[in-house]
Amino acid sequence: MSAFVARVAALAGVAEDRLQRLHGGDLSEVLMIPGGLVAKGGPAVPTEAAMLRALHAAGAPAPGIEGEYQDVLLLQHIDNDGVMSPRAWGDIGRALRDLHDHRGETYGWPANYRLGTVELDNRENGDWPAFWGEQRLAHTAAILDRPWRERVAALLPRLVDLLPPSPLAALLHGDLWGGNILVKDGALAAFIDPACYYGHVEVDLAMLHLFDAPPEDFHEAYGPLEPGWEERRLAYQLFPALVHFRLFGATYAPMVDRLLSALGV
């Protein structure tokens, strides 16, 4: 048993062998506690708790916080069956639009965060192309081999013309893909594992379309996008592709190469 299992067992007052590991948890340990609680470890429990509270304040479905410790977050267990449906996709579109309707004054978040070993530079910034180029793309590519760094660096000057200078600062989930969306009985149950910050709404949509294929029900529920979204989507998808390259290795090199090539670098 890991130190995390021992810690959760002590907090919950149960035997270690009564804890059940949950599927998923690629970047942190997740345990089911008898009685309907989930224990999650992570690099910044207080920051994740603040993000979940932000989702709740915006009216987005998310697990309730049942306990917050320095190294363990206790959450409400959300029953789910993983079966997507047109109705569920419509729910997701409407919920995401409602989330994005909550706005901040600038881009970023009050605290930095991590996706596994990848640090997110969330320093607040009023210049959206600079935030995306420097604090997302260049920052994430900084420890990759030189050819990758150089291609990302070559893209940065183009972002001034490619991205809007000052889109509305929407509340983003920040790590939106099918694995972080729970559904039950053909309906949306909850968004989980947020990496929130304020930014352009198309960021969440780009990641969702990188790893999933939302049907027309989603698009109709979410609503129309501004012209030029197709090219911007490539620049926004490059960030999660770089994150996955960092976390999981060369399997994601072709994805990064494809996106950089499509962006002309």
Q: Calculate helix-pair angle for 202-211, 86-100, nearest 10 degrees.
A: 150
Q: Which residues of 243-263 are buried (b: 16+ CB within 10 A; e: fewer)?
A: bbbbeeeeebeebbeebbeeb
Q: At what angle do helices 146-155 and 253-262 cross, to 10 degrees?
A: 30
- Confirm whether 175 is a catalytic residue: yes
CA distance 86 to 31: 30
Q: Which residue out of 175, 212, 217, 257 is catalytically annotated?
A: 175
* Spatial contact of 194 and 48, defined as CB atoms under 8 Å apart: yes
Instruction: Judge whether 97 and 223 are in contact, CB under 8 Å.
Output: yes
* CB-based contact 152:138 (threshold 8 Å): yes
CA distances from residue 219 to 77, 149, 202, 205 in whole angstroms, order as listed: 29, 34, 12, 10
Residues serving a catalytic function are 175
